Amino acid sequence: MLRKKKQTAVLMKAVSELKEADYSQEPELQEIFQRLTKGRKQFAEVFEKNINAVMQISSLDLTMKHETEKILDISRQITKATESIFGSSEHITGRSSNQHEEMTNTIIRVASETEGIYQKTKEGQDELTNIRELSNETIETSMKMQEDIHNLSQVINQLSSVIAGVDAISMQTNLLALNASTEAARAGEAGKGFAVVASEIRVLAEETQRMTKNMNSFVENIKKASKKSIDSATNTIDSLKSMTDKISNIWELNSESQKHISKVNESVSSIAAVSQEISSSMSEMENQIKGSTDFMCHVSDQLQEAIEPVPGIEKTLDVALKQMGVMSQDAFYHLKNEEFAKYINSAVSSHQAWLNNLRKMVDEQTVLPLQLDSSKCAFGHFYYAMTPNIPEILPIWKSLEAKHRKFHKYGESVIQALRNGDYPKAMQIYKDAEFYSKELLSDLEKIQQLAER
């Protein structure tokens, strides 16, 4: 009986320490031991799931905040660009629409003025046609004068009348050329060619005036000398033919200019139509951009509202994890060394992933989601949740807190350098972090080896 009591006491102590023993003689203790063993195993599973959950929540919170800030930043950039193109948001629709309308009206006005220049050019062409026809008539008249040499007095009187008409025409041509030069100057670049034509007409008109004055003197001499040789009439005809040829050349040049002005008029009219379409499209684009910007701001607000509970959930899970860490100090819930070593192995992987993320940020020269709080990273949650019961590990374990916190500071420094555009500095900080991480990894590997041993 005494021996059985001692055996029962030994088995009860084994149960209290959750140690393997031969419980076949005590079925009740065996059942308790099995239930406790199963409960400890379930506790380990819950502890692992809780760590995974709090890490995922922490990562989700970090990512959501980063992406929300990106959406807000894009929204601000779009708003700034929109204001730069269309004006400030207070007057965006009214002012930009007025500017587009004013531009369109200006083009339409230019088209109208070009049409006016074309019409005046056409009128000038008509006048040149009349002058050319009149010049031809003058030649015919001079030839008749040659035929009617015997009736010289009558021919001379007719010639005086014709000369007076030519003089009047040359004066009118001179005035027309002056008006044409003025209109060509108003037309600007498009009127340069026509300005040359107008100048040529004016020169010819002045030459014609000089010729008519000479011819008047000539006629007076004929009248005084009575009759002249038929050679004088021939010279007059030749001079008139020369003038007609010049007028024909001017007519051709003016016709060419008229065609060019017509093309310019068509182009300006097309531009006016396109401008009206652009004005309408830009107004529509303004409204679409403004609507998109408002929508992005609304989405950002909704995202911020959606992630508001996340930090609270993370905190609740973290508290629960710490409570489970305290429970793990009890023999009934104590984590096995191999389980502890597995968490350390996960910490090494998470540490390397964090460092790789930092390198990616430096290589791509852009800020990515990166956990800067050493207590919220994968290892941080585990570290602050429990303390290992292995005496050889404790000194190394306690020294990890300051080292781990310093390691995360490198992330802050890299992000600051990237935001300042100092990419060489960001690369140097990363290299420092990479070098410093070797010490941390060495400590974690020692802990893992000791736990597995």
Q: Specify whether the CB–CB gap between 67 and 303 falls below 8 A.
A: yes
pLDDT digit string, tens, across residues 93-120: 445 456 556 666 776 676 666 666 667 6
The Cα-based distances of 338 to 58, 341, 388, 390 in angstroms read 26, 5, 12, 12
Shortest CA distance to 388 belongs to which of 376, 403, 398? 398
pLDDT at position 38 over 70: yes
Question: Hey, CA dihedral for 276, 280, 283, 289, is it positive or negative?
Answer: negative
Higher-scoring residue by pLDDT: 268, 70: 70
pLDDT at position 254 over 50: yes
pLDDT at position 92 over 50: no
- Is the CATH number of domain 335-453 1.20.120.30? yes
Q: Specify whether the CB–CB gap between 203 and 250 falls below 8 A.
A: no
| Tokens, residue 105 | 């009206």
CA distance 202 to 204: 5
Per-residue model confidence (pLDDT) at position 435: 94
| Tokens, residue 342 | 């597995």
pLDDT digit string, tens, across residues 277-305: 666 666 676 676 666 667 666 666 766 67
Count of other CB atoms within 10 angstroms of residue 414: 24
Per-residue model confidence (pLDDT) at position 91: 46
CA distance 309 to 64: 12
**Who's near 176: CB < 8 A, 6+ residues apart?**
124, 127, 201
Per-residue model confidence (pLDDT) at position 69: 74
Per-residue model confidence (pLDDT) at position 337: 79
CA distance 189 to 165: 36
CA distance 67 to 89: 25
Against a cut of 0.75, is the pTM above it? no
pLDDT digit string, tens, across residues 364-413: 999 888 888 888 887 888 888 878 888 888 999 999 999 999 999 999 99
**Who's near 71: CB < 8 A, 6+ residues apart?**
296, 299, 300, 303
pLDDT at position 414 over 90: yes
Q: Specify whether the CB–CB gap between 410 and 432 falls below 8 A.
A: yes
Report the SS3 class of residue 1: coil
The Cα-based distances of 104 to 109, 261, 276 in angstroms read 9, 21, 6
Per-residue model confidence (pLDDT) at position 93: 47
Spell out a b/e string for 222-255, using b for 16 or more CB atoms within 10 Å of the CB, else e.
beeeeebeeebbeebbebbeebbebbeebbebbe
- Match domain 114-291 to its CATH number in 1.20.1530, 1.10.287, 1.20.58, 1.10.3470: 1.10.287
Per-residue model confidence (pLDDT) at position 418: 93
**Who's near 228: CB < 8 A, 6+ residues apart?**
152, 221, 222
What is the secondary structure of 111-180 as a DSSP string?
A: HHHHHHHHHHHHHHHHHHHHHHHHHHHHHHHHHHHHHTGGGHHHHHHHHHHHHHHHHHHHHHHHHHHHHH
Count of other CB atoms within 10 angstroms of residue 117: 21
| Tokens, residue 303 | 């995202």
Dihedral in degrees, nearest 10, Cα atoms 261, 264, 269, 273: 180
CA distance 275 to 280: 9
pLDDT at position 23 over 60: yes
pLDDT digit string, tens, across residues 205-238: 677 767 777 766 766 776 666 555 566 657 666 7
Per-residue model confidence (pLDDT) at position 90: 46
Shortest CA distance to 11 belongs to which of 332, 3, 2, 26? 26
Per-residue model confidence (pLDDT) at position 104: 66
Q: What is the mean pLDDT of residues 8-14?
A: 77
Would you kindly state where each structural domain of the chain is located, as residue ranges? Answer: 114-291, 335-453
Least confident of 20-29, 82-91, 167-176: 82-91
- Average pLDDT in the chain: 74
**Who's near 245: CB < 8 A, 6+ residues apart?**
none
